[in-house]
Amino acid sequence: MQLRIVFLLIFFLMQINIVFALDSFSEQNTSYTNTSSNNPDNSIEDKENYINRTRSLMGTYATISLSSKYNDQISSAFDLIKSIENSLSTYDPNATLAKLNKNHKVPYDDFLAESIKLSKSYYVETDGFFDITIGSISKKLYHFGEEKTYSPSKEELKKAHLNIEGIHIDQISIQSDEDIIIDLGGMGKGYAVDKTTSYLKEQNITKGIIALSGDIQCLDTCTVYLQSPYSPQTFAKITSKDKYLSISTSGPYRRYATIPEEHHLINPKTALQGNDFVSVSLITTGNNAKIDAYATAISVMPKEKAIAFLKNLDEIGFILVDAQSSIIYGKLDKFVNIEFLDYKDTATMEIISKNKKTKTNIDRSFIHPDTNNPKMIRP
């Protein structure tokens, strides 16, 4: 029988409706419920017992859902993700990338070298809108991911030096120019999902889900709900048509420096935040690193540029929500069936600042994505 797993995809938070076992679980805003076989949208139609384990890794919650007989493989997969974190993290001072950003030279590291090489190709493919040297702004000036964040001046932003050609790799070492800071946050989670999927394939595991925040890969068919940027309600249900569905979602809210306008998605060409989209979801088969990077790039592109870019991509479907809450989608037929949903409550957004311990629901002029008038973009 076909395995059916229902998965709720949101930015930075996840709700997964399957039988679960917690591996290590610090406080988080995540809820789990057992599935019910009476509801086809919340069921696992399989004789095997599936478990869901979650660990705090790569600055988010990594969740792996597999048959309980693969419990050891889940542990090994978490170890793999931890190894990738040890290479790509900018938060851990002992991580290879953190050392590179500090000393500008480190011994060759397989994960870091591969991530940088992929990122250089994504830089070219996105016309420079994906640039990992954005760390010279996101890390050096805003200090995203640290306990205290800052609001840089216009002059500081203007002087920030970005140059992807300032990163050099040979068989012995990885080096960067003195004024270059690298931030792999725009593709690292997708890269980890791909590596984890490859490992599970090697173990002949063909059913389950791997998820790091908004980056998900379904080994078998699955159902995913996309959440409104402004409340816990969902605005779209997508059901995969084939195996190895890759999904990556990016959005500017919930993570900012000192004011909400200073969110973490920054256009490397202007040093300013991207404001044309509040939600970008990309869908393809078996390539989370690429769509993670592409989603980051599209989030900071001008709207017309982003749509033109997507229209030229043959193997990627998309669901966008622009700043006016209009839904724009296209090229989904190959990958998923989509159903747009209704809402019950008013749109509000939970604001969480790194410099404040309080949370507030701010009821401004937020409008849910307009599911009554989604616009399909054809190639």
Considering the domain architecture, whether residues 240 and 295 belong to the same structural domain is answered as yes
Round to whole Å and give the CA distance between 263 and 174: 30
In terms of DSSP bridges, do strands 375-376 and 327-330 run parallel, antiparallel, or are they unpaired? parallel
Where a domain ends, among 176, 195, 228? 176
Considering the domain architecture, whether residues 170 and 54 belong to the same structural domain is answered as no
In a domain, 191, yes or no: no
Per-residue pLDDT of the chain (379 residues; tens, 9 = 90+): 344 445 555 433 333 332 223 333 332 322 222 233 333 343 334 446 889 999 999 989 999 999 999 999 999 999 999 999 999 999 899 999 999 999 999 999 999 999 999 999 999 999 999 999 988 877 666 655 656 665 666 787 788 889 999 999 999 999 999 999 999 999 999 999 999 999 999 999 999 999 998 899 999 999 999 988 877 788 999 999 999 999 999 876 555 544 455 556 778 887 676 788 989 999 999 899 999 999 999 999 999 999 999 999 989 999 999 988 899 999 999 999 999 998 766 555 554 444 443 334 444 456 788 889 999 998 7
pLDDT number for residue 5: 47
Work out how many domains the chain is built from and give that number.
Answer: 2
In a domain, 198, yes or no: no
Task: Give residue 62's identity as a one-letter amino acid code.
Answer: A
**276 close to 323: Cβ distance less than 8 angstroms:** yes
Considering the domain architecture, whether residues 345 and 310 belong to the same structural domain is answered as yes
The answer for 50, left when phi > 0, alpha when psi is -120 to 50, beta otherwise, is beta
Domain span at 14: 6-82+207-376
In a domain, 197, yes or no: no
CATH code at position 150: 1.10.3980.10
Considering the domain architecture, whether residues 310 and 227 belong to the same structural domain is answered as yes
Round to whole Å and give the CA distance between 214 and 274: 18
Where a domain ends, among 176, 197, 215? 176
Q: Return the axis-axis angle of helices 71-88 and 96-103, rounded to nearest 10°.
A: 0
In terms of DSSP bridges, do strands 6-9 and 14-17 run parallel, antiparallel, or are they unpaired? antiparallel
Considering the domain architecture, whether residues 75 and 161 belong to the same structural domain is answered as no
Considering the domain architecture, whether residues 262 and 356 belong to the same structural domain is answered as yes
Considering the domain architecture, whether residues 360 and 251 belong to the same structural domain is answered as yes
Round to whole Å and give the CA distance between 298 and 295: 5
| Distance separating the N- and C-terminal Cα atoms of the chain | 36
Considering the domain architecture, whether residues 156 and 298 belong to the same structural domain is answered as no
Considering the domain architecture, whether residues 297 and 360 belong to the same structural domain is answered as yes
Considering the domain architecture, whether residues 76 and 95 belong to the same structural domain is answered as no
In a domain, 247, yes or no: yes
**244 close to 338: Cβ distance less than 8 angstroms:** no
**212 close to 193: Cβ distance less than 8 angstroms:** yes
Considering the domain architecture, whether residues 62 and 168 belong to the same structural domain is answered as no
CATH code at position 46: 3.10.520.10
